[in-house]
Structure 1
Amino acid sequence: MRHLRILYLREQRDVWFDRDDLAVAEVLAIADHPKARILVGWPTPSNGYRWMLRAMGWVGTFPVGDRLVLRIAPKIPAPQVFELHLAAGGGRDLELFSRLAPTAGVEQALMVALRILCERVNARMARGLRKGYVAETRSGSVPKGRLRSRDTLLRFACGRPSLVWDERPLTFDIDDDRILA
């Protein structure tokens, strides 16, 4: 019976291992894994002779060779993913099953549900960012946008020396546009 070692990583987080915990061959196999996409930091005096592994790709369980398994946990816990799903669905609850076809297994159904979630999140984020441009007129001594020359000249003529400008912030940050991470 072979002894499996399991390395626990978290998506987009640095995880440190002592130099003796991993062999160079194992680290090279981890770095070359096509699906896991692991960024490897080599042991140096500046990092205390430790290996640094950072998951940059998929989450899940990935076998690396015969004796090593990577378990990569998602950055966002499952309850928050469902909160994001509810926000992206516009309060339609979890209406997934109207679009699901009979599948061969639970894993396929979850993949379809995940695809629907991604479509809805992308649509909601795009809709929120598109309507986020808001023009504001401000005045002061230092302009931070497009100068309104007519209004500025009127202020100077009235004895109020200040500049008037238009600002168009890139996005208007509303609660629906924040990712629940």
Structure 2
Amino acid sequence: MNTTPAQPIIIELTEYENKSFQHDQISDSDGFELYDKYKIQVDIEFPNYKTKEHWKLKAKGWVGYIPVTPELHLKINPKMPIQNLFGMLEYAYNLKGFRFLEGLMDCESLEEFYNNLAHILADKVLERCRKGLYRTYLPTTQQLSYVRGRLDMQQIIQKPWNVKLKCDYEEHTADVKENQILAWTLYIIGRSSLCSERVSPTIRKAYHALQGLVTLQPCSAEDCIARQYNRLNLDYELLHNLCRFFLENSSPSHERGNYKTLPFLVDMAHLYELFVAEWFKKNTPQGYFLKQQHPIEISQNRHFNIDILLCDAATGKTIAVLDTKYKAPEQAEYTDIHQMISYANTTKCKEAFLIYPKHLTQPLDIKSDQIRVRSLTFSLDDNLDRAGQTFLKNLFLLIFQNSHQ
């Protein structure tokens, strides 16, 4: 008797594009599941008289793969060239320049890129296991039948009949956060529905290599950021950058029965913000430096992080505030303009820029008291480095012109 599970129906969308589907292409129960769990990522209009009894779906700035139910999977393609999406990911997660990534640019889909990157991570974890995992000393307290480290004399005096001795000592262990991040990431990848038959065995092998040595503990993308490295664990920086990519773009899905799988979803607005900041940081002209995600307090109960501050290296003074907007409206929104004026006032600078992936139909250029707010473009449609250089040239041209008016 053949017990092979039926293959799910895969429907495809492209971000920000409306697409219609026949009523029988999506079951009502699957439609409800999609709406309940993923309405932030996908606009869904149920079949009705107005839609001529069709389903209408629109992805809202997310790309990736959603296993909605065992019967229905949703694939969301980027609107930009796939190679540019990979280029953004390389910059955003500090993977740019690693030679092993060169072959990834030939991938034709996000699933293929996911598989290849997962395979690279698993290979490098196995390589590190063969060399020996990073270990460090952790303080431990245990009841032992022999003396180890420092005895708790107060307990001995209070409970002289206790044959177990309370000892405080340091244990040299691999069960540390550095390795727990690797184990949790491999666990998350293993639960995804994106791993191919070629990649899955390597993921399992790497995960099992950590078992027994490392406790499976939930880790977040934030755990991978700003960690301290030394000569004994320097190679972990790359591993953690790869882990951050997977953890930041994987999230728990609804569990139904034994169906436990994770969607892989890239928030394009967040990716655009990370990409522009990292590209700018790596290409900042001499004499300037950047501050990323700079915290400011607008009022007692209102706190914000500014995407980018451009500062003068000699004086430390803020020259411009910049904020990325992954959308292509005809004109800038008033709320965004007022936000930038608040940012500029708080940082005591006169230049504020809203950065978009496409040219606005009505470019922004307004002045409020001494503050000037303008729009700029960091395009994703062409070569990213060339687009970045154009953005950089226009930014400094506008700053220079304004300072001489």
TM-score normalized with structure 2 length: 0.28
Q: In the alignment, is residue 21 of structure 1 matched against residue 50 of structure 2?
A: no
The gaps in structure 2 that reach 5 residues or longer are: 100-233, 250-269, 281-306, 311-319, 323-350, 354-365, 382-405
1:103 equivalent in alignment to 2:107: no
1:10 paired residue number:
14
The 5 Å alignment of 1:90-129 reads 94-95=96-97, 101-103=237-239, 108=243, 110-111=245-246, 118-122=273-277, 124=280, 126=308, 127=310
Structure 1 residue identity aligned to 2:71 = R
Matched, 1:179 2:379: yes
For 2:34, the equivalent position in structure 1 comes to 30
Aligned to 1:77: 81
Q: CA deviation at 1:61?
A: 1.7
Q: CA deviation at 1:7?
A: 1.1
Paired with 1:117 and 1:46, the residues of 2 have a C-alpha distance of 35
Cα–Cα, structure 1 residues 14 and 100, in superposed 2: closer, same or farther, change >3 Å?
Answer: farther
**Does the Cα contact within 8 Å between 1:96 and 1:116 map onto a contact in 2?**
no
In 2, Cα distance between equivalents of 1:100 and 1:77: 31
The question of 1:54 aligning with 2:209 is answered no
Say which SS state the counterpart of residue 60 (structure 1) adopts: strand
Aligned residue in 2 for 1:170:
373
Letter matched to residue 40 of structure 1:
I
Judge conservation of contact 1:11–1:73 (CA < 8 Å) in 2. yes
Counterpart amino acid of residue 243 in structure 2: Q
Report percent identity of matched pairs.
19
Contact 1:37 1:55 in 2 (8 A): yes
1:138-171: CA deviation from partner (whole Å, max 9, x where unpaired): xxxxxxx89xxxxxxxxxxxxxxxxxxx998631
| Contact 1:129–1:171 (8 Å) recurs in 2 | no
Query: What CA distance in whole angstroms lies between the structure 2 residues aligned with 1:19 and 1:70?
Result: 16
Q: Given residue 239 of structure 2, which amino acid in structure 1 is its aligned partner?
A: T
- CA RMSD, 1 decimal: 4.4
Distance in structure 1 (CA, Å) of the matches to 2:321 and 2:236: 29
Shift of 1:35: 8.6
Q: Does the 8 Å contact 1:7/1:70 carry over to 2?
A: yes
Secondary structure, counterpart of 2:5 in structure 1: coil
Within 1, Cα distance between the matches of 2:70 and 2:88?
38
Distance in 1, Cα, partners of 2:242 & 2:272: 15
8 Å Cα contact 1:6/1:70 also seen in 2: yes
Report how far residue 34 of structure 1 moved: 4.7
Q: 1:57-104: CA deviations, max 9, x gaps?
A: 642222122211111112322323466689x89xxxx34799971428
Confirm or deny: 8 A CA contact 1:83 1:180 kept in the other structure: no
Distance 1:83 1:14 in 2: 26
Q: Which amino acid aligns with 1:101?
A: E
Residues 88 and 275 in structure 2, CA contact (< 8 A), matched pair in contact too: no
Give, in whole Å, the separation in 1 of the partners of 2:45 and 2:35.
10
Q: Given that residues 84 and 380 in structure 2 are in contact (C-alpha distance below 8 angstroms), is that contact kept between their aligned partners in structure 1?
A: yes
Cα pair 2:40 2:60 within 8 Å, conserved: yes
Runs of 5+ unmatched residues, structure 1: 134-144, 147-165
| Residue 35 to residue 42, structure 1, CA distance change in 2 (3 Å) | closer
Q: What is the CA distance between 1:132 and its match in structure 2? A: 5.8
